[in-house]
Amino acid sequence: MSTAIVYPNLEEFDQLISGDKPVLVDFWADWCMPCRMLAPVIEQLGEQYQGRAEVAKVNVDEYPELASRYRIQSIPTVMIFDKGELAEIIVGLNSADVYTKALDKLLGE
């Protein structure tokens, strides 16, 4: 596990997304092949944005409450939160630049 990635539990999740920094959350599961293919990209984003944005992973099997709260119907789904607000939903497997563009937009870069 990379140190640049956070794995919040239910309580930590709400606290995390209402912080000052944008938060990218990757909703995933063990059995999901495309999620495993996205994992290296998420790791890389964690390192690339360390200090500027939070990068988190939520296992939908461990936290079905979060999956149902955000009506996750396909994984991987990446959600980006800005000061507690859902700013972006990116469904499916995408190239790294799709995620960096979305984060950079929020960071004003």
Partner 1 sequence: MSGRADIAVVGGGPAGLSAAVNALARGKTVRLLSSGKTNLKHAENVDNYLGFYKITGGELMDRFEEHAAALGISAEKGKVLNVMPLGGYFMLNFAGQIVEASAVVLAIGTAKAREIAGEAEFLGRGVSYCATCDGMLYRGRKAVVWGLAPDSAEEANFLHSIGVQVVFAAKGERPENLKPEIPFIPEAVSEIVGEGSVSAVRTGGDLIETDGVFILRNAIAPTTLVPGLETQNGFIRVDSRMQTNIPGLFAAGDCTGAPLQIAKAVGEGLIAAQAAAKYIDSLGK
Q: In the numeric block, which tokens belong to residue 13?
A: 């999740």
CB 25 within 8 A of CB 79: yes
32 is catalytic: yes
Closest to partner 1 by CB, 17 vs 35, is 35
Residues in the chain, total: 109
Q: Is 8 a catalytic residue?
A: no
In the complex, minimum distance from the CB of residue 73 to partner 1, in angstroms, rounded to a whole number: 6
Work out how close the CB of 65 gets to partner 1 at its nearest, in angstroms, rounded to a whole number: 14
Q: Which residues are catalytic?
A: 32, 35
